[in-house]
Amino acid sequence: MMTHRTFIQLYQVHDLDLSKPYTYGFAETAYGKGLLISHSGYLLAFGFTTEINDLRRPSWPITSWQENHQQAEDLWKTIESKNSIKAILLGTDFQQKVWQALLDLPQNQLVTYQDLANNIGHPKAVRAVANAVGANPISIVIPCHLVVRTDGRLGGYRWGTEIKKSILKKGL
């Protein structure tokens, strides 16, 4: 499925070739070192961490792991340049709905948790929306950094508010 951010194409989990290993590596970004995890050419996770367990998901099918920093660097360059990227997002139906709503936001448009809850048709599920935003597996690509509190304050960000401020300033 194509998203509003036309460089992101989402695929179903059945597209994973379990005979191939998960690949992970680090890339230097303008915001700090990022860890990228991919599988069979699909981005599965991205975050500003040096610990693979910060991004590993228990729901991923069991397979082997392979370290490849060059592939991670290349994948980051693709994200940064907004060239076409394939991603598979493993999450509940509710999480998927929240992540899709984030992907559908116009570039650099800030949104509140309440706005997101309204946008997905669950106006009373603000806390659940916040949890889904926090569980976003591919930071920056799914723009969870665009979510702010109702009072306009930045609120939290899984990878720290300084990184969030930096991303918002650059407008990625």
How does pLDDT run across 24-72, given as a tens digit for each residue? Answer: 999 999 999 999 999 888 899 999 998 888 888 776 777 788 999 999 9
pTM of the model: 0.86
What pLDDT, on a 0 to 100 scale, did the predictor assign at position 13?
Answer: 64
Average pLDDT of the chain?
86
The Cα-based distances of 36 to 49, 64, 103, 121 in angstroms read: 9, 16, 19, 32
Predicted confidence band at 5 (pLDDT cuts at 50, 70, 90)? low
Asked about 144 being catalytic, the answer comes back as: yes
Residue 165's contacts (CB-CB under 8 Å, 6 or more residues apart) are 154
Compute the average pLDDT of residues 118-131: 96
The one catalytic residue among 44, 98, 111, 144? 144
Four-CA torsion 37, 110, 112, 90, nearest 10 degrees: -20
Sign of CA dihedral 70, 35, 51, 66: negative
Predicted confidence band at 2 (pLDDT cuts at 50, 70, 90)? very low
Question: Is the per-residue pLDDT at 12 higher than 70?
Answer: no
What pLDDT, on a 0 to 100 scale, did the predictor assign at position 143?
Answer: 92
> What is the percentage of the chain residues whose pLDDT exceeds 70?
88
Query: Looking at the chain, how many residues does it have?
Result: 172
